[in-house]
Amino acid sequence: MNKILIVEDEDALRLLYEEELAAEGYDVTTVRDAEGALDLLGRERFDLIVTDIRMPGRDGVELITQIVGLRKDIPIIINTAYQSYKDDFMTWAADAYVVKSSSLVELKARIKDLLAR
Amino acid sequence: MIEPHPFLAPDLQSKEPKELALLSIVSQSFFQPFSVEDNLLVILTALTSGSGVGFNRAMLFLTDGDRLRGKMWLGPRSAEEAQSIWKILSTPGIAYIEIIEHNRSLLTLEADSLSRRIQPLEFSLTGDNLTVPVTALAKNEILLVRDASREMLIDPRFLQAIDVEEFLCVPLISQNEVLGEIVLDNAFSRQPIQPKDIKLAGLCGLLAANYIFTATLHRKMIGMERLAALGEMSMFIAHQILNPLAAIGGFTDQLLAGPADETKRRRNLEIIRREIQRLEKIIFELAHFLKVEPKTPAPFDPEPEIRAVLQALELKAAAEGRELTSLIDDRLPPILGDPTYFGEALRNLIINAFEASPPGGRVEVTAERKDATWVVVSVKDEGRGMPPEVRSKLFTPFISTKDRGMGLGLLYVKRVMDACGGTVEVESEAGRGTTFRLSFRTREEGRPNA
């Protein structure tokens, strides 16, 4: 069973992703911030990471970069409400960029693609 | 020894050469809150007044894309009028607004005869057979034209409009950008144009060109800043709205996908309801913020307003485990402002202070008369304080340190304070808490008899 790590600070979305991805047959772990993610990544191995980019000016993109730096060959999906980060070179290291919407179809499709590679 | 000097010396006109006085007045006008047109008017006035440079008439063309268009033509109707205008201009400590009013009325008077004659004129800046006045721009040279009717290289419509044999074309070019042209003549006095007048006209041309260039650049910059702020705002709102939308969509899809047990159905609906409320709050806050339109500041007694806000927030303080204390001078004079917005601004600051405070932390509200002019209301918290990078962006919209903040609260406070002629100051040190100080003008200020 593929293990997915979700980094998301919105409580409702963490719950939603956990349920929806578990229903797709993944083993899902969720954390609320990038620090929690870094901590877990040091101890466990995951097959894929889905992470939000938080508010600019706080820990923002740098923590994503740290996660990117930590991973060896784990695919990363950036899942955020910020369309504009798509062009930010800091996010190029991610394997996919999914802008949040009212539907999970795209996110699920990207996860499936990346795990099938 | 250190000795201060005014920019415009009162005795400059009587002792110094008139050229210096002229340049001094023209450059001074750039620092006044005039429109671009008004400033160009000052230059044209300087060029056409007897004691200034001494041309009789000055016409101004401005470029518009690849065309040069007639804009205004200033020409006193007599030498006496020119003299009187220059006298006003050279008066030490003159009210600039008066000069501009004078010039404007002059221009309106002349609109029938002079400006109206050149406003329909326009010349292409490109092409092979360039004629005067465009030639001066193409060559970037001041051109003195004599015996105009015998010259072939003058635009016939232009010659017909200006109707003199001798005139001077001064190109307005800055940073290789063609901005316009000033054309000068002595239609009334019939005096030949002197080399020294040409030099001064050239200087005025450089000043005018640089001024137009800077003014245009400034306008572009403000436009860009607005656009950037708008971009930032749309990005922020998109973010604030997409998160609740993603939750609403996701949990709705779960319900649509198939039968769910009652507990899950209820939970989903509750989440959806909550997220809808969140969206509502975002829209409300935005509308609330955009709606700040305080009335003309009027005197009111601040004490009951402060007490009302404190009383309303006591429950919140207790519920969140914060201590709310106050020290209100009971002999506060009336202050200038709008009581509704005053209360709202104070409320914003106190709620912020609650959020910044540690559990059990104390928020202290004080109000005191500082001096005859100011009453200061301050809100102090025992939070972590703010690092400089946060402090520098306090009043920038859509930047918030809170998870779900809109970044509008403090800007709201600032707008309220600006509207009543007051100020907002922040004192904050990392680890030592933050104090916001609102300074309000007292009713007495500026009205000793009130």
For B261, list phi and psi in degrees, rounded to 5: -70, 160
Q: pLDDT tens digit string along A64-111? A: 777 767 655 788 888 888 776 666 655 566 788 898 999 999 999 999
Q: Same domain for B163 and B251?
A: no
Domain hosting A84: range is 3-116
Which of B112, B20, B114 has its CA nearest to residue B76? B114
B192 in the same domain as B264: no
Percent of chain A past pLDDT 90, that is, above it, reads: 39
Closest residue in A to B249 (Cα) is A102
How close, in Å, is residue A105 to chain B by CA atoms?
10
pLDDT category of residue B136 using cuts at 50, 70 and 90: very high
B428 to chain A nearest CA, in Å?
19
The answer to whether position B447 is within a domain reads: no
Same-domain check for residues B145 and B172: yes
Residues B346 and B305 in one domain: yes
Residue B446 in domain:
no
In a domain, B278, yes or no: yes
Tokens of B49: 């007044």
Q: Which CATH number does the domain housing residue A41 bear?
A: 3.40.50.2300
Tokens of A18: 């956990």
Question: Is the domain of B149 the same as that of B133?
Answer: yes
Residues B203 and B56 in one domain: yes
Among chain A residues, the shortest Cα distance to B239 is held by A81
ipTM computed for the complex: 0.87
* Residue B388 backbone dihedrals phi, psi, to 5 degrees: -55, -35
My answer on whether B147 and B263 are in the same domain is no
pLDDT band at A12 (very low <50, low <70, confident <90, very high): very high
pLDDT band, residue B159 (cuts 50/70/90):
very high
Longest dimension (CA), chain A: 37
Phi then psi dihedrals of residue A49, to 5 deg: -120, 130
What is the rounded CA–CA span in Å between residue B256 and residue A105? 14
What is residue B100's three-state secondary structure?
helix
**Does residue B102 lie within any of the structural domains?**
yes
A82:B248 CB<8 A: no
H or E element that contains A48: strand A48-51
Of the candidates B283, B338, B348, B361, the one whose C-alpha atom is nearest the C-alpha of residue B312 is B348
CATH number at B81 reads: 3.30.450.40
pLDDT at A86: 63
- Mean pLDDT in residue range B245-263: 93
B257-270 mean pLDDT: 92
Confidence of residue B151 (pLDDT cuts 50, 70, 90): confident
B178 touches B139 (CB < 8 A): no
Residues B216-223, mean pLDDT to the nearest whole number: 81
**B434 lies in a domain?**
yes
Q: Same domain for B199 and B241?
A: no
- Per the model's pLDDT, the better-predicted residue between B30 and B70 turns out to be B70
Mean pLDDT lowest among A52-56, B26-30, B120-124? A52-56
B282, B306 contact by CB (below 8 A): no
User: Where is pLDDT greater, at B33 or B14?
Assistant: B33
- Greater confidence, B377 or B40? B377
Domain count, chain B: 3
Judge: A82–B250 Cβ closer than 8 Å, yes or no: no
Task: Output the pLDDT for position B187.
Answer: 85
pLDDT over 90 (residue B440): yes
Does residue B222 carry a pLDDT above 90? no
| Chosen from A102, A104, A108 to mutate, greatest number of chain B CBs within 10 A | A102
More confident residue, B222 or B418: B418
pLDDT digits over B269-283, tens only? Answer: 999 999 999 898 888
At residue A6, the pLDDT reads 93
> By residue range, what is the domain housing residue B18?
12-219
Residue B82 covered by a domain: yes
Domain total of chain A: 1
Residue B115 CB partners (closer than 8 Å, separation 6+)? B70, B71, B72, B73, B74, B107
| pLDDT band (50, 70, 90) for residue B244 | very high
User: Which of B238, B271, B275 lies at the smallest CB-CB distance from A81?
Assistant: B238
- Judge whether residue A55 has pLDDT over 90: no
Within this chain, do residues B318 and B210 fall inside the same structural domain, yes or no?
Answer: no
Residues B283 and B371 in one domain: no
Q: What is the mean pLDDT of residues B122-142?
A: 90
Percent share of chain B, pLDDT over 90? 33
Distance of residue B178 Cα from the nearest chain A Cα, in angstroms: 37
> Which of A12, A58, A83 lies nearest to residue B247, judging by beta carbons?
A12
B389 contacts on A by Cβ (under 8 Å): 57
pLDDT attached to residue B448: 43
- What's this model's pTM, rounded to 2 decimal places? 0.50
- Provide the pLDDT confidence category of residue B77 given band limits of 50, 70 and 90: low
Across chain A, mean pLDDT equals 83
Residue B112 within a domain: yes
For residue A73, report the phi and psi dihedrals to the nearest 5 degrees: -140, 30
3-state secondary structure B134-148: HHHHHHCCCEEECCH
More confident residue, B7 or B202: B202
Residues of chain A positioned with their CB less than 8 A from the CB of B251: 12, 16
CB-nearest partner of A81 from B242, B250, B274: B242
Q: How far apart are CA A69 and CA B162, in angstroms?
A: 74
Position B97 scores a pLDDT of 57
Specify whether B214 is located in the same domain as B243: no
Identify which of A82, A84, A104 has the shortest CB distance to residue B250: A104
Same domain, B270 and B130: no
pLDDT value at residue B144? 94
Give the pLDDT score at A88.
63
Of B291 and B127, the one with more pLDDT? B127
B3 falls within a domain:
no
Ranking A39-43, B54-58, B99-103, B156-160 by mean pLDDT, the lowest is B99-103
Residue B208 has pLDDT above 70, yes or no: yes
> Please, what is the angle between helix B339-356 and helix B302-319, to 10°?
30
- Residues in A touching B250 (Cβ below 8 Å): 13, 16, 20, 102-104
pLDDT at position B449, please? 38
Residue type, B129: N
- Which CATH number characterizes residue B255's domain? 1.10.287.130
- Count CB atoms within 10 A of the CB of residue B449: 4
Whether residue B11 is predicted with pLDDT greater than 70 in this model: the reply is no
